[in-house]
Structure 1
Amino acid sequence: MPKCFIDSTPKALPVHTVREDAYGAWLDGQSDGVKAWLASTGFKGKGGQTALLPGDGATGAIGAVYVIGGNDDRGGAWAWASLQTGLPGGEYQIVSELSADDAHDAALGFALASYRYERYQTQTDDGNGPDNGTDNGGANMPVLVWPQGADRDGVRGAYGATKLVRDLINTPASDLGPAELAKAAEELAHASGASFKGVVGVDLIREDFPAVYAVGRGAEDSRAPRLIEFTWGREDAPRVTLVGKGVTFDTGGLDLKPASAMKLMKKDMGGAAHALGLASMVMVAGLDVRLRVIIAAVENSVSGAAMRPQDVIATRKGLSVEIGNTDAEGRVILADALALASEDNPEIIVDFATLTGAARSALGTDLPALFCNDDGWAEAILNAGLKTADPLWRMPLYQPYKKQIKSKIADLRNDTDTPYGGAITAALFLQAFVGKDIAWAHIDLMGWTLAAMAGKPDGGEAMSMRALFAALTDRYAS
């Protein structure tokens, strides 16, 4: 957790919450001095605004804080995130009565807004070095007394997982290649008592992960491709498997991306980060599942060893794939990972991937696309997304489009001849590697915030993770 919460303190300034639709009535009941102060500071009582009221005139200190809520379309924790950004350094306590849900959201929103990624900064805006690595916690930052009724363990779990996702995505590829991604997974596994396994380099061929090797073989030995796996939980519990796309940098391969498209490609391992983040939440909460995490980690590089357009590669499932475009590599490595995930016939497989620009064109950058072969499981995920203010939008697995990924010389191709429906055809490609009768959800997400907003700094971002955790909790809570 960031150093943004305390248990109690007599020095804490009171924070009052007022809904925007009740602001007029509240203002009518204030003194002429308060009304004049608010008018002179330009305060309009709009959602997300914070009013700092003066206290004893002799000291010049803040006397009270009023926060206007109820006007953030994102809802949930995001509706409270502006509280942290609107306060100067000091200690604060919400004194308004909150429901348990609001107390949880207030604490989580405050924590999420406290996140900073400062690993490479030698100086902050005030000229001083960062206080706490990649977390806020400096002396000039606000801290909040834990809101009464907040689920502290739940907040810690959600924040910790979100921080893990953000930190991994924000780390540049110079410091996060396949080996470093594997190390992060291994550290998480060992901290939770999970059993860890890694298959590296040419051993991928020996252990039948030919597609992962084909994509990653163009990188240097120090960035050799690998298959990362760990398992946790009792053997006879319901089996849940999480799969993540771990392309730690994507040049596009020989079909090289333009520079503008390559700028954000350190985030192309965002699916793997989400699989690890969700796994962290599941293990911290102790859900009664047999959890398996599988990550295909590669760097899609340009070299004489890189795969070429029109190569035909093998896969673990036995299907052959013609490479139409080396920049459609994510689905290729996921083919082996999903085939492995299906072999022990789990109840549920969820894969996360920063897979297609087509999904972003359809839904924008903030709304992940959900593809699912099970209507009941899809509905549970969507409802959980609304409940947690972590929404997804379901897209169709439209079977007539399967002909677009049929190769003339192999079983499948990894691209199509049309610019339309790319998120759907990518999902259909993945579906070919999922075992029959397994409830499977594929989440095509951005993993990045382009423009900062309350609680979400620009950079790496967890999307759909809290929704999936809530759906799994509803299904498997003991």
Structure 2
Amino acid sequence: MSFQLIDSASKQTIPLVFLNKMKFDDHCQDNVDGTSWMIANGFKADEGAVCSLPDQSGGIRTVVVGLGDRDVPGIWTVAGLSQSLPEGIYCLAEDLPADIATQVALGWAIGTYQFTRYKESSKTLSTLVWPKGADQTQVRALAGGVHLTRDLINTPSNDMGPEELATAAAQLAGEYEADCNVIVGDELIEANYPAIFEVGKASVRAPRLIDFRWGDTGPKVTLVGKGVCFDTGGLDLKSPAGMLLMKKDMGGAAHVLGIAAAIMQSDLPCQLRVLIPAVENSVAGNAFRPSDVIKTRKGLTVEIGNTDAEGRLVLCDALAEASRAKPDLIIDFATLTGAARVALGTDLPAMFCNDDGTAEKLRHHSVETGDEVWRMPLHQPYRKMLDSKIADLNNVASGPYAGAITAALYLQEFVEKDIPWAHFDVMAYNNASSPGKPEGGEALGLRAVYSMIKEMVGE
């Protein structure tokens, strides 16, 4: 992927100048060249706003990009420019510190994303000369991970069922010579993944567990992603409106594949494992029912309070398997609860963690990368809300409150206490477009997790 970034230009480039509100006010007071033009065009240096200054022939001499109250550009300052600027080749007017240059290049690269599998785009993209000092390997790895995540989520379920998701994972594993194993259908029972089988057995598209491994040195990092390729709600059927975006219910799987792609492309020294329970939650005569009691890989029994709480059922088997190998870190991603969206909205992922040190590192890296997440509590007194009279626990809480917390507490039951574990409850979707973030599938928390793992392995 080029991401519309080039090493040098054979023809004249158009410089990008960054200007915050304070500097813009100074320009206005000093009547700096171009100020009158910017004022006439309503430019106020808001972050991401642009104003093209003309040359004597009517072409573009310089493009001024607003920073708002920032002193330096962030990743989203430039994310919309490749699609909003007139077609051409642009460059930075001034050198930036290497970390800022990397963020600018990454923002530009992420902003080139277009989903064109079913419909060609009529947009032409502009090109940026690589900023001096930018980490090209990291930019390509992270932008590629984000684009992959978005592509997988945006693909409708008729072309992204459990088999197709497994194929995508196998292709990624093959690209980096990783070992990939897929357990399918009745083989899940034989291999002791009963909860994954129960959720997916009603679909004509067989459930499966995707398991791939890469790397043989460094810390053991296991990523687990919810791969519900479509969720009808099962016998607790969703409404038509509730089903409309359910192609994104495999967004957790898409996230861990995106992170894995970035790790492998960057060649980070770790022992990476990716586990994805891939199912379709369908309605049929053999579908699992409310009040059924099912077994899990860990040996715990679960009473089904609601068949629409299926994501935690498939994840619990995968988390139990992840724990068995005693990795140094387990991270799972899932489009798990509407309650998390009610609490934090669609842009801010809820993060739960059983280890304060790991949680603080994730928070730090989320701020540093501009990929913010918000820690939510694993409030143990709420665990009793998952009690069952006939099984070890219920898959839903006994009341309507704290839905995101009780879902996380359910998952925690399947993670060994001495293993650092973080759970991300994400929307994985933009309901509307903004610069660099088109409507559709979205990667949330991906860059923060990658950054933490990069530090963890000493890179």
With the shorter chain as reference, the TM-score category is over 0.9
Distance 2:15 2:447 in 1: 30
Question: Can you list the C-alpha shifts for 1:23-72, whole angstroms capped at 9, x where unaligned?
Answer: 1112444567x344323323233222111111123xx2112111111447
1:106 counterpart (89, 98, 104): 104
Give the aligned partner of residue 4 of structure 1: 4
Q: Residue 277 of structure 2: SS of its match in structure 1?
A: strand
1:225 counterpart (204, 207, 212): 207
Distance 1:107 1:255 in 2: 46
> Is 2:18–2:73's contact at 8 Å kept on the other side of the alignment?
no
2:349 counterpart (340, 362, 368): 368
Cα-Cα RMSD = 1.7
Alignment of 1:76-87 (within 5 A): 76-87=74-85
Alignment of 1:274-313 (within 5 A): 274-313=255-294
Closer, same or farther in 2 for the Cα pair 1:197/1:66, shift >3 Å? same
Alignment of 1:176-325 (within 5 A): 176-220=160-204, 223-234=205-216, 237-325=218-306
Pairing 1:425–2:412 present: no
Distance 1:92 1:75 in 2: 16
Q: Residue 79 of structure 1: SS of its match in structure 2?
A: coil
Closer, same or farther in 2 for the Cα pair 1:428/1:3, shift >3 Å? closer
Closer, same or farther in 2 for the Cα pair 1:446/1:74, shift >3 Å? farther
> Is 1:49–1:82's contact at 8 Å kept on the other side of the alignment?
no
Give the aligned partner of residue 47 of structure 2: 47
> Is 1:6–1:145's contact at 8 Å kept on the other side of the alignment?
yes
Q: Residue 52 of structure 1: SS of its match in structure 2?
A: strand
2:319 counterpart (338, 342, 347): 338
> Is 2:225–2:255's contact at 8 Å kept on the other side of the alignment?
yes
Aligned residue type for 2:214: W
Distance 2:283 2:239 in 1: 13
2:143 counterpart (133, 139, 159): 159
> Is 1:405–1:412's contact at 8 Å kept on the other side of the alignment?
yes
Distance 1:201 1:474 in 2: 39
Aligned residue type for 1:238: P
Q: Residue 78 of structure 1: SS of its match in structure 2?
A: coil
> Is 1:50–1:86's contact at 8 Å kept on the other side of the alignment?
no
> Is 1:72–1:79's contact at 8 Å kept on the other side of the alignment?
no
Give the aligned partner of residue 128 of structure 1: none
Distance 1:82 1:182 in 2: 32
Pairing 1:14–2:12 present: no
Aligned residue type for 2:334: A
Distance 2:247 2:72 in 1: 27
Distance 2:414 2:3 in 1: 44
Closer, same or farther in 2 for the Cα pair 1:296/1:50, shift >3 Å? same
Give the aligned partner of residue 88 of structure 2: 90
Could you tell me which runs of 5 or more consecutive residues in structure 2 were left unpaired when the two chains were aligned.
none
1:445 counterpart (411, 415, 426): 426
1:358 counterpart (319, 339, 344): 339
Distance 2:268 2:95 in 1: 31
Aligned residue type for 2:176: S
Distance 1:404 1:72 in 2: 45
2:61 counterpart (56, 63, 88): 63
> Is 1:356–1:444's contact at 8 Å kept on the other side of the alignment?
yes
- Runs of 4+ in structure 1 off by over 2 angstroms are 26-32, 34-47, 70-76, 82-86
> Is 1:2–1:115's contact at 8 Å kept on the other side of the alignment?
no
> Is 2:218–2:457's contact at 8 Å kept on the other side of the alignment?
no
Q: Residue 77 of structure 2: SS of its match in structure 1?
A: helix
TM-score, normalised relative to structure 1: 0.93
Aligned residue type for 1:24: D
Identical aligned residues as a percent: 52
> Is 1:176–1:248's contact at 8 Å kept on the other side of the alignment?
yes
Q: Residue 80 of structure 1: SS of its match in structure 2?
A: coil
Question: Can you list the C-alpha shifts for 1:88-131, whole angstroms capped at 9, x where unaligned?
Answer: 11111111231212211111111111111121115x45xxxxxx
> Is 2:95–2:131's contact at 8 Å kept on the other side of the alignment?
no
Could you tell me which runs of 5 or more consecutive residues in structure 1 were left unpaired when the two chains were aligned.
126-137
Q: Residue 93 of structure 1: SS of its match in structure 2?
A: strand
Distance 1:27 1:453 in 2: 29
CA apart distance, 1:405:
0.6
Q: Residue 436 of structure 1: SS of its match in structure 2?
A: coil
Distance 2:71 2:297 in 1: 44
Aligned residue type for 1:112: I
Closer, same or farther in 2 for the Cα pair 1:2/1:115, shift >3 Å? farther
